[in-house]
């Protein structure tokens, strides 16, 4: 928790490193507060990606020619980098997908669906994004299993007692978000994983919101599966990560069939490639993965290693918490404004409503002031129902935001309030 607010004069990532942040919106300088929907991209990473595409590009894992080998090396280097980011035990535990959503669907279909029996349970929480609900419902419907959700307290914190009470011998899968994209609640991932393992359940952690904001150690947490959304981590769209424990991934059938994921194919029988190729059918998003590597280099600096990565993302998380706290203190001055989410551990999200203004109208007026927020259910309809609101406005904070962005947010909210007064 933040005890006192240090003075912040500049953002942790210079805005000038992100060309899109310099765009004028509706004649105003942009205050981009929608990084939870997707983060802006550092020029250094897009430039490195373009250089790769223009000078090193070829398909991977299939050519003896020089460019194909260079491209394969560049692509596989990023797997090693992601292994370090997550502190995975083995590089073959890192699978590239097209997003967090695909990573979860892969586990739901390849791991859960063959495992689940009628009467089995999948335990989620009320905080989950639709991507961590619907794939489990599809697997449950196909197998006669049931999806249930642990409750949250009114302040957005997980009700750990309810979570514990809902674990039982029928619980086969436990899936929860590490950080809530809608409220910012940080969940006690290690404690929850230990509780789930005590009942023999397999744990998937949705790290879409934690990836760029917190140090992650899958071995420390004990997660069986951990998924990342790269476009939310300042990286390219169309790339996701699935981490899975080696023994689990080895035992799972392929999710998709095609080129690259086979050892041999005949019309009678196909045998599959070893990990990680088994789960990377077809031509992958080569430039996207290389762009992810360049993005990680931007975040942590040249020659980064596990220690410097952990230091950097911890610094980012702490910085964003300070910006959030300042923003909340500014918004708290506005009569009729309610902030949702006040758990003990919070990341850089401010979800709020204004009594007299619908969140969509609020979002539209903020946009006229150059302030970009998301207004809606944030792909968390069950959570909105639990909070008793159809939608909220959400300001999500990244390392390129600063206190001025929070001032801009507060004054634009006041302007919206005056319009609707
Ligand atoms: N899980 C969480 C917690 C998320 O926040 C998101 C995206 C996803 C899963 C899906 O990830 P993707 O890689 O498939 O895009 N969250 C949001 C959001 O909050 N606003 O827009 C997208």
Which pLDDT belongs to residue 2? Answer: 41
pLDDT at 1: 39
Ligand 1 pocket, residue 177 CB under 6 Å: yes
Q: How many CB atoms lie within 10 A of CB 254?
A: 18
Distance 206 CA to ligand 1 centre (A): 9
Q: What is the pLDDT of residue 62?
A: 86
Q: Which residues pair with 148 in a beta bridge?
A: 123
User: What pLDDT is recorded for position 7?
Assistant: 55
Please tell me the number of Cα atoms within 13 Å of 199 on its side-chain side. Answer: 23
Does 181 contact ligand 1 (Cβ within 6 A)?
yes
Interval between CA 208 and ligand 1 midpoint (Å): 6
* Atom number, ligand 1, closest to the C-alpha of residue 102: 14
pLDDT reported for residue 63: 83
Kindly report the protein residue whose alpha carbon is nearest to atom 18 of ligand 1.
37
Token representation of residue 192? 């929850």
Q: Is any atom of ligand 1 closer than 6 Å to the C-beta of 351?
A: no
How is 332-366 classified by DSSP, letter by letter?
Answer: TTSTTEEEE---SSB-SEEEEEETTB-HHHHHHHH
Which domains does the chain possess? 15-41+307-420 (3.90.1150.10), 48-300 (3.40.640.10)
Distance CA 109, CA 139 (A): 6
pLDDT of residue 126: 98
Q: Which residues pair with 96 in a beta bridge?
A: 241
Ligand 1 lined by 135 (C-beta under 6 Å): no
With 0-12 / 13-18 / 19 or more C-beta atoms within 10 angstroms meaning exposed / middle / buried, residue 69 is middle
Determine how β-strand 24-25 pairs with β-strand 374-376.
Answer: unpaired
Cβ–ligand 1 distance for 129 under 6 Å, the answer yes
Q: Whose CA is nearest to atom 21 of ligand 1?
A: 37
Asked whether 101 lines ligand 1 (CB < 6 A), one says: yes
8 Å CB contact between 144 and 117? yes
Instruction: From the CA of 380, give the closest atom in ligand 1.
Output: 19
Tell me whether residue 63 is exposed, middle or buried, using C-beta atoms within 10 angstroms of its C-beta: 0 to 12, 13 to 18, 19 or more: middle
Residues contacting residue 144 through CB under 8 Å, at least 6 positions apart: 116, 117, 118, 119, 120
379 is catalytic: yes
Walk along the chain (421 residues) and give the pLDDT tens digit of each residue: 344 445 566 899 999 999 999 999 999 999 999 999 999 999 999 999 999 999 999 999 988 999 999 999 999 999 999 999 999 999 999 999 999 999 999 999 999 999 999 999 999 999 999 999 999 999 999 999 999 999 999 999 999 999 999 999 999 999 999 999 999 999 999 999 999 999 999 999 999 999 989 999 999 999 999 999 999 999 999 999 999 999 999 999 999 999 999 999 999 999 999 999 999 999 999 999 999 999 999 999 999 999 999 999 999 999 999 999 999 999 999 999 999 999 999 999 999 999 989 999 999 999 999 999 999 999 999 999 999 999 999 999 999 999 999 999 999 999 999 999 8
User: Which of 39, 203, 323, 379 is flagged as catalytic?
Assistant: 379
């Amino acid at each position: 928790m933040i005890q006192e607010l240090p003075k912040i004069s500049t953002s942790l990532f210079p805005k000038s490193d992100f060309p899109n942040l310099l765009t004028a919106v509706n004649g105003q300088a942009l205050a981009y507060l929608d990084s939870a929907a997707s983060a802006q991209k550092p020029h250094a990473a897009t430039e490195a990606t373009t250089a790769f595409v223009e000078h090193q590009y070829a398909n991977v894992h299939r050519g003896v020619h020089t460019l194909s080998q260079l491209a394969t090396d560049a692509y596989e280097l990023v797997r090693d980098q992601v292994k370090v980011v997550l502190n995975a035990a083995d590089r073959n535990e890192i699978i590239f997908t097209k997003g967090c959503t695909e990573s979860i669907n892969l586990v739901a279909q390849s791991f859960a669906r063959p495992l689940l029996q009628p009467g089995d349970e999948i335990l989620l929480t009320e905080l989950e994004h639709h991507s961590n609900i619907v794939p489990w419902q599809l697997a449950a419907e196909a197998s006669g299993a049931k999806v249930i959700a642990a409750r949250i307290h009114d302040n957005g914190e997980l009700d750990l007692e309810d979570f514990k009470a809902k674990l039982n011998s029928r619980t086969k899968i436990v899936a929860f978000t590490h950080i809530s994209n809608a409220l910012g609640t940080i969940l006690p991932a290690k404690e929850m994983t230990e509780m789930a393992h005590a009942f023999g359940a397999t744990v998937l952690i949705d790290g879409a919101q934690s990836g760029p904001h917190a140090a992650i150690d899958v071995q420390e947490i004990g997660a069986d599966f951990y998924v990342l959304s790269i476009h939310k981590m300042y990286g390219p769209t169309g790339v996701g990560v699935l981490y899975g424990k080696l023994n689990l991934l080895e035992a799972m059938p392929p999710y998709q069939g095609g080129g690259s994921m086979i050892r041999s194919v005949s019309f009678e029988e196909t045998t599959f490639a070893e990990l990680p190729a088994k789960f990377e059918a077809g031509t992958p998003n080569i430039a996207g993965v290389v762009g992810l590597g360049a993005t990680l280099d931007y975040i942590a600096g040249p020659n980064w290693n596990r220690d410097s990565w952990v230091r950097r993302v911890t610094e980012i998380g702490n910085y964003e918490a300070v910006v959030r706290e300042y923003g909340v203190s500014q918004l708290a001055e506005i009569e009729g404004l309610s902030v949702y989410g006040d758990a003990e551990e919070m990341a850089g999200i401010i979800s709020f409503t204004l009594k007299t203004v619908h969140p969509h109208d609020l979002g539209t007026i903020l946009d006229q002031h150059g302030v970009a927020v998301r207004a809606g259910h944030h792909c968390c309809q069950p959570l909105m129902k639990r909070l008793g609101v159809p939608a909220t406005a959400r300001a999500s904070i990244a390392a390129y935001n600063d206190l001025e962005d929070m001032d801009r947010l507060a004054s634009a909210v006041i302007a919206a309030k005056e319009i609707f007064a």
